[in-house]
Amino acid sequence: MNTQKKQGRSTTAIHAGYHSDPQTGSLATPIYQTSTFVFSSTEEGARRFAGEEAGYIYSRLGNPTVTVLEEKIAALEKAEAGLAFASGMAAVSAVLMAMVKTGDHILGTKGLYGCTYGLLNLMKDRFQVDYSLCNMTDEASIRQMLRPTTRVIYVETPINPTMELVDLKLVAKIAKEVGACVVVDNTFMSPYLQRPIEQGCDIVIHSATKFIGGHGDVIAGVAAGPKAIMDTIRMTSQKDIGGILAPFDAYLLIRGLKTLGVRMDRHCENGQKVAEFLHKHPKVAIVHYPGLPQFPQYELACRQMDGFGGLLAFELKGGMEAGIRMMNNVSLCKRAVSLGDVDSLIQHPASMTHSVIPPEEREKMGISDGLIRLSVGIEDVEDILDDLETALSFA
């Protein structure tokens, strides 16, 4: 009988995947900055290439530093295996290209990240993989959009930037009935706050650039899921297209994960206070944040997530022009398009992250021209609120 005590999320983030090097005793994960690995014999090399023996061959196919990161992500997401990539979009493209073929159909949530939307269009135009977007807030809407050729249901929750939620247990239930694979972009929540595989989903993707790295100094992506599927992706679309992660970047993410818990707790605490401040502000028309009781899906957020995160969106009563004036007068908050950083970042989706999407499609997604997205950092919350109060006086 296994009597080992189940570890908490922060303990897992710090310790999973690595035990100090028995030869050197190094506490920190070593950076194996090597392109290739030496075989003790020709026979050993042949066995490794044939898959008969575990071991490293070439860093595009696997690297010890990267392996530690992959095992940490798998442990945090409660998955069998993980993969690391050079960017979030490298992860998205590798997973989708491994899961579908010409003639297949992908059903995605409305409001997809702009580059994911661009990838789906490229796959449709070049490879005849069709897609459609669906409001996944109710079962009937999902079932209506399914086709016999639907192979993947691709979910973002919360959806960027409207923060609309998708019921993961519901989507997983429907997908299993029709034999589709559920892929979830979990970037906004991190595995600390939401674990889709526990909800019945199949594969989880992150832009690790965001909360997993947390410090705005690395571009990376990760995926986690069943070992058989991860092995297929590793040996096909990852190996052959080559969007692999460098060992030093893996080291930065491993270091970032060690503070994931304390950072996410602070993001949640600050995000809640900023959302409540904006909700009460006379110049703000609406705030989209799952932690507000006024949020339409507040009950789902409480069931599905372990915290409400640091991302929110809001619209000013003065519309787009007021939003531009407000954004141009922030000081502490930085005008930048990323998220999940220790710094507070503010951006305008219609002209930045979602500008590739036609205006009529953006409107259908709930992304108005006046919508502003704020990634609340871990600064002292009083300073964030002071900065927003000052900037809002110009709106």
Which pairing describes strands 334-335 and 345-347: parallel, antiparallel, or unpaired?
Answer: parallel
Structure tokens that stand for 369 in this block: 């021209």
Among residues 47, 60, 147, 273, the one annotated as catalytic is: 60
Rounded CA separation 312/387 (Å):
16
DSSP strand pairing (371-375 vs 311-316):
antiparallel
Q: In the Cβ-directed half-sphere of 205, how many Cα atoms lie within 13 Å?
A: 25
Identify the CA nearest to 310 among candidates 344, 336, 278.
Answer: 344
Residues 253, 213: contact at Cβ < 8 Å?
Answer: yes
60 catalytic residue (yes or no)? yes
DSSP calls for 317-339: TTHHHHHHHHHTT-SSSEE-S--
Catalytic member of 9, 195, 210, 234: 210
**18, 48, 110, 113: which one is catalytic?**
113
Does the active-site annotation cover 113?
yes
Triad 166, 169, 170: Cα angle to 5°: 70
Question: How many residues are present in the chain?
Answer: 395
185 is catalytic: yes
> What is the distance, to the nearest Å, from the Cα of residue 29 to the centroid of all Cα atoms in its chain?
24
Task: Please check whether residue 90 is in contact with residue 228, taking contact to mean a CB–CB distance below 8 angstroms.
Answer: no
Collapsing DSSP states into helix, strand and coil, what is residue 346? strand
Nearest Cα neighbor of 354 from 338, 336, 339, 367 is 367
> Which residues are catalytic, by number?
60, 113, 185, 210
